Amino acid sequence: MSGSDLASYIDHTILRPEATAEQVEQLCQEASFYGFAAVCVAPCYVQLAQKQLGPGSLVKVATVVGFPLGYQHHKVKLLETHQAIEDGANEIDVVMNLSAFKSGNYQEVQNELEDLAKFCHLKGAELKVIIETALLTNEEIVKACELCAAAEADYVKTSTGFAAAGAKVEHLELMRRSLPQHIKIKASGGIKTFADAEALVNAGADRLGCSASIQIVKHE
């Protein structure tokens, strides 16, 4: 796999709390130049990203909801999602309610994700569900994947990048075995090198959330 091949897997990401508008504009320019799949930006920068990419751009705009902890009220997550799509987001990366999940309130978690998925699909957007694999056992990863599949999410995503660890090959392989083939996987968190990225794609990742995107595709 070449660097240009990998580019089509990458969500070029800037979610640092201190990220500036100028850095978001640069991110969009880089995404267009290298042919990345999407940019992933904070909700306050969705409109800017859409404007910077321009009409007809092949680069999608992704943003985050319930980020990074996931325990916001489900109505707040729906409102965030509505606003993000109104602002021009094509993809929503939402953090699963880990608190409810760890409490065993699986139906509550599934209901929330179903509502979000239905709304996204109604508006022509895709939903990626962040399950934060670093905080889950293998059994919990399997259960979380089952809930995401039942909710008809488009992607299951490993990590926010804000936990103690990010994407791991063994978690990707477990997720791929646990999900129907039509549900995709996004790996994120700690992907720094071409070798990291290639290993995760080989393990089953359909998308990669990266902030080191350029050094990855340039093999630096």
- Active-site residues, by number, are 93, 157, 186
Instruction: Give the span between the Cα atoms of 81 and 121, in whole angstroms.
Output: 12
Q: Helix H segments across 35-122?
A: 46-53, 74-87, 98-102, 106-122
Burial 55-76 (b: 16+ CB within 10 A, else e): eeeebbbbbbbbbeebebebee
Convert 19-37 into a string of H (helix), E (strand) and C (coil).
CCHHHHHHHHHHHHHHCCC
For the chain, what is the total number of helices (H) and then of strands (E)? 10, 8
Looking at the DSSP bridge assignments, the partners of residue 184 are: 155
Count CB atoms within 10 A of the CB of residue 19. 17
